Every structure is written in C-alpha cells, then in structure tokens.
C-alpha cells in the first residue's frame, strides 16, 4: 500500500508539473498576444503617421520647386526615430503638379513572443501625396483683388519666389475688371447674403474656415474700412491666400464678383483713411502652399499650391493623384 501511495503521489506531481508547464506557455502566449500585438499596432500607427507627414512635406517641397525626397528622411525621423526610409520617388505630371511616394519601415521588438519562438519583425507603410493648383481654398482672407491690376499681372508673368513690395491702390484707372470701381473688394466668403463686419474682422485675423471655389461671390466694392486696422495689424508680415476676381456684376450691396483663382500674399502696410483714391495695401506676392482642395491643373498658375494624401499602402491609382 505504501508503494502504491508513493507511485500515485509521483504521478500526481508529474501531472502538476505538466499542468504548470502548460500554464506557463499559455501565460506567455497570452502576454505575447496582449503586449506584443499592442506594440505591433502602436508601431504600425507611428510609421503611418511618419510616412503621411513625410509625403506631405515632400510634396510641399516639390510644389515650390524644391527637392522633397531630400527632406523626407528628416520628417520620418521626427515622427518615428527608429524608422528608416526605404524609397522616395516623385512623379511630375506637369509644370506645377505631380505626386511623390514615400515608403518606410520601423522595427518591432517583441517582449514575450520571442520567448516562444516568434521572431521580431518590421512594419512598413507607404504614403503618396500630390501637389497642384487649388480647385478650392481654406483660410482665405476676404480681400478680393482685380486680376487686371498691373502689379498682379507682373507677378503672374513669372510667379516664382516672391515679388518686391508693391502698393496696390484701391481705385483703378477705370478700365480694369469691367465695372469694378477699384482694385480691391471685400468679399462675402460664406456667400451668406451680405458683408458682415464681424465676419470680416474674424476672417482677416484667422482666415475663413470654409472651402471657397472659383465662381460668383457677393461682396462690397467699397474701400477697406479703418475698422479693420487692428485686425490688419495682427497679420502684418504673415503669408496667406486671397481671392482673385475678373469681373463684377451689379453695384453696391448687390455686387457679385466672379472669382477665378487665388494668390498668396504677404501683408506689409496699408492706408484705410482719407479719400478712397489715397487708400492702399502694401504687399508682396509670394509662392505659397496653402490648405485647400487639390487639384485644378487646367487653371492659371498664380503661384499658389495645395497638397493632399492621395494613396496609402500600395493601393495606388494614378488617377487619384493627378
């Protein structure tokens, strides 16, 4: 009986050891799933963020005639220090449009899965971003400029870099933009049925958050008011987009302006008091990458570009990026 009991005890100990062993494997397996898959997901999220940022930055560089792929590794490293660029390739579809694809990878070091024979791995991400002329813009300031202004026409002849500081008077010579009384107009960017001074002040400082596309907008042909002086001072030397119009219909509060595109400017000075003939805005025309809708590649180049992500992770269709 003693021998039988001893044998039974040894068997039970063996079964307990086996169960402990199985339990340890199960525990490590669960840890591998819970911790290592979470780490894998986090690494994947970071590398996607990195390639998105890098592709957009590279597209912005190419949009302004720079070398986007030269800057791509820096943006990858800023967003994921362990990542490395595998490929960066631009494609130019026109003189002011194209797209660039950035592919990168980052290592994933497993904490538990390696203990049960699962090797470490790397995760990859590929993002393609395009650049081109805007078909719509966000962040517009409400100052519409007549496209016939000689300073603007000089800029459009070679919209590269930035112009010298120019003075655009309020009053034109009577031959510009049809019946428009001046080079400038305050446009109703939300087309809500009239120029509201509170809206205008907000838009001058912060830009209009909605999307504006070429077409007809209401507005006021009156000279820019000195009530905007403080708002103009808040954006002195900033660069931002404004609308360009080619003609105006009706007059006064019934005026409708035909917007044909957008241009980037940098504001330097202004005069909003005295006779309308003496009022002006001093500014530079500048090449600029703004926030908007891409792309209107049959439009006229005014030096303004927009970029957007058009493809991710190899599901590439060129039509989405042109």
pTM value is: 0.81
Domain ranges of the chain: 2-132+310-321, 136-294
What's residue 176's pLDDT?
75
Q: Which of 69-78, 106-115, 214-223, 305-314 has the highest mean pLDDT?
A: 69-78
How confident is the model over 123-136, as a mean pLDDT?
Answer: 92
Quote the pLDDT of residue 9: 46
Output the average pLDDT for the chain.
83
Of the listed ranges 7-11, 64-68, 158-162, 217-221, the least confidently predicted one is 7-11
Higher pLDDT, 297 or 218: 218
* Tens of pLDDT, residues 109-118: 655 555 444 5
What whole-number distance in Å separates Cα of residue 186 and Cα of residue 220?
Answer: 5
Higher per-residue pLDDT: 121 or 197: 197
Q: For residue 30, what pLDDT is reported?
A: 58
pLDDT digits (tens, 9 = 90+) for 131-164: 999 999 999 999 999 999 999 999 999 999 999 9
**Mean pLDDT computed over 163-192:** 85
The pLDDT of residue 53 is above 50: yes
Per-residue pLDDT, 178: 73
Q: Return the percentage of the chain with pLDDT > 70, whole number.
A: 80
**Read out DSSP for 157-203?**
TS--SBPPPEEEESB--S-SSTT-SBSEEEE-TT-SSS--HHHHHHH
* pLDDT per residue as tens digits for the range 98-108: 999 999 998 87
**pLDDT on residue 320:** 73
Query: What count of Cα atoms within 13 Å lies in the side-chain half-sphere of residue 204?
Result: 23
* Mean pLDDT across 29-58: 76
From residue 132, give the alpha-carbon distance in Å to each of 122, 147, 310: 34, 20, 12
pLDDT over 70 at 120, yes or no: no
Which of the four pLDDT bands, split at 50, 70 and 90, describes residue 194?
confident
User: How distant, in Å, are the alpha carbons of 4, 10, 20, 43 from that of 13?
Assistant: 14, 5, 10, 43
Quickly count: other Cβ atoms within 10 Å of residue 194's Cβ: 12
Q: Is the pLDDT of residue 4 over 70?
A: no
Dihedral sign of CA atoms 181, 184, 186, 189 in order: positive
pLDDT in tens, 224-279: 888 999 999 999 999 999 999 998 888 777 888 999 999 999 999 999 999 888 99
Model confidence band, residue 92 (pLDDT cutoffs 50, 70, 90): very high
pLDDT of residue 45: 84
- For β-strands 288-290 and 304-312, DSSP reports them as parallel
Q: What is the pLDDT of residue 37?
A: 60
Residue 38, classified by CB atoms within 10 Å of its CB into exposed (0-12), middle (13-18) or buried (19+), is: exposed
């Amino acid at each position: 009986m003693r021998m039988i009991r001893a044998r039974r005890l040894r068997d039970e100990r063996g079964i307990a050891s086996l169960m402990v062993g199985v339990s340890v494997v199960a525990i490590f397996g669960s840890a591998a799933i819970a911790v290592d898959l979470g780490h894998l997901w986090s690494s994947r999220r970071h590398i996607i963020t990195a390639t998105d940022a890098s592709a957009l930055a590279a597209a912005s560089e190419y949009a302004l005639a720079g070398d986007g792929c030269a800057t791509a590794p820096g943006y990858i490293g800023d967003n994921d220090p362990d990542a490395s660029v595998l490929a960066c390739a631009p494609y130019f579809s026109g003189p002011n449009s194209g797209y660039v694809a950035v592919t990168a990878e980052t290592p994933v070091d497993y904490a538990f899965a390696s203990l049960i024979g699962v090797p470490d791995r790397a995760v990859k991400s590929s993002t393609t971003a395009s650049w081109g002329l805007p078909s719509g813009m966000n962040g517009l300031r409400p100052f519409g400029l007549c496209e016939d202004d000689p300073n603007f026409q000089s800029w459009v002849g070679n919209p590269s870099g930035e112009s010298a500081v120019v003075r655009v008077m309020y009053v034109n010579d009577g031959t510009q933009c049809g019946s428009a009384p001046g080079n400038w107009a305050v446009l109703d960017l939300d087309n809500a049925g009239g120029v509201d001074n509170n809206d205008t002040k907000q838009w001058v400082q912060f830009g209009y958050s909605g999307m504006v596309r070429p077409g007809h907008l209401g507005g006021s042909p009156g000279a820019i008011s000195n009530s905007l002086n403080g708002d103009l001072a808040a954006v002195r030397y900033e660069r931002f987009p404004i609308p360009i119009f080619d003609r105006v219909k009706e007059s006064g509060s019934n005026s409708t302006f035909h917007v044909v595109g957008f241009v980037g400017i940098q504001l330097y000075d202004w005069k909003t008091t005295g006779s309308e003939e003496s009022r002006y805005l001093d500014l530079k025309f500048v090449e600029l990458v703004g926030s908007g809708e891409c792309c209107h590649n049959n439009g006229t180049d005014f030096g303004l570009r927009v970029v957007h992500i058009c493809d991710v992770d190899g599901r590439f269709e060129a039509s989405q990026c042109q």
